[in-house]
Amino acid sequence: MAFCTKVKLNVGLQLPYLNVCCSCSRLFLRPLHSRIEPPAVKFGSIEHRHRQSGFNLSLSSTQLPPLHKIQLGGCLNGTQASKCVYVNSSWRMFSTQQDAESRNPPKKKSTAQSKKSPISWKTLLVVAGLGGAFAIGMHIVKKEKEEELKKTRTRQLGKALLGGDWTLTDHHGNRRSSTDFRGQWVLIYFGFTNCPDICPEEIEKIVRVINQTDKDEDLPKIQPIVITVDPERDTPEALKEYCAEFSPRLLGFTGTVEEITAATRAYRVYFSAGPKDEDNDYIVDHSIISYLVNPEGEFVDYFGQNKTSPEIYNSIKLHISTYNIAEKRRK
């Protein structure tokens, strides 16, 4: 490749363009906006006289990141010429710095950045935490709803099958109603004073339970009540004497046949007087069950003859604890 004989007029100066000479592997000039190889551009100065054309070329380069500023100067046939060009990061020449910067290729993202996932582990942790909190919250709400539904069903069942208000006469001769015991836990037993063995055994069991609950500071006082199923013989005086034999905490109730019948029907208690003997004595057949009533006057549980006093105590304690938790949630 020989020296380029073409020239351009640039402000009255004849200046060949930069190129590479095949004979000497040195720089010479070629048109602007064409590419030059990086090894041909060095920082500092280069002085070179072209062998074939006699053109003296001086090249000085300074770096203006991300550009190279190259000052070209030389003499051809007695004509001095000089020009400043700019080489961008892709090694293309431009006549102005603005053109070189505007045509700089965009910076490539690093491999780490290009492979970086838009979802980081921190984002995953936050999402997992929020999802876990939401799941726990939903579980708690669902559990509370289930407990409330269960309690509602229990109330409906209790109101429909067992329990109810009654008005009777206590063993002190006072007229009292079941509503007088609102705010208290009540344990009710239906029996009669002339019962030979079963009633005394059941009442003694109730007294053992009451003594145990009275010692438990975490439990409220429970009122034990005995309602007679033999209103003809069980007067207030007879009930007072009978209850005193077991515990001063016992409270006996009697009333008319109609009042006793209403109370027993409310709790589905069966009773039937047997035939009288020569002394007009008789036995009353009846259900052997104790009934637990909460402070709202609602039936909660029942305990048959096969239940021991520790079992009754544990069951009552559990019911009271459950009731207290529900009351706190209501407030």
Determine the Cα–Cα distance for residues 165 and 163; give it in Å rounded to an integer.
7
Q: Are strands 185-191 and 289-293 parallel, antiparallel or unpaired?
A: antiparallel
Collect all residues with Cβ–Cβ distance below 8 Å to 4 and sequence separation of at least 6. 16, 17, 19, 28, 29, 30
The residues with which 223 forms a beta bridge, in sequence order, are 186
Q: Where are the alpha helices (DSSP H) in 170-303?
A: 198-215, 236-244, 257-266
Place of tokens 């190129």: 19
Query: Does 75 show up as a binding residue in the annotation?
Result: no
Q: Which two tokens stand for residue 180?
A: 């007088």
Beta bridge partner(s), residue 82: 73
199 assigned ligand-binding residue: yes
Where residue 217 falls (left for φ over 0; alpha for ψ -120 to 50; beta otherwise) is alpha
Measure the CA–CA gap between 66 and 96, rounded to whole angstroms: 14
Instruction: Name the region of 280 (left: φ>0; alpha: ψ -120 to 50; beta: rest).
Output: left
286 assigned binding-site residue: yes
Give, as one character, the DSSP assignment of residue 178.
G
Instruction: Extract the annotated binding site.
Output: 195, 199, 286
Instruction: Extract the annotated binding site for Cu cation.
Output: 195, 199, 286
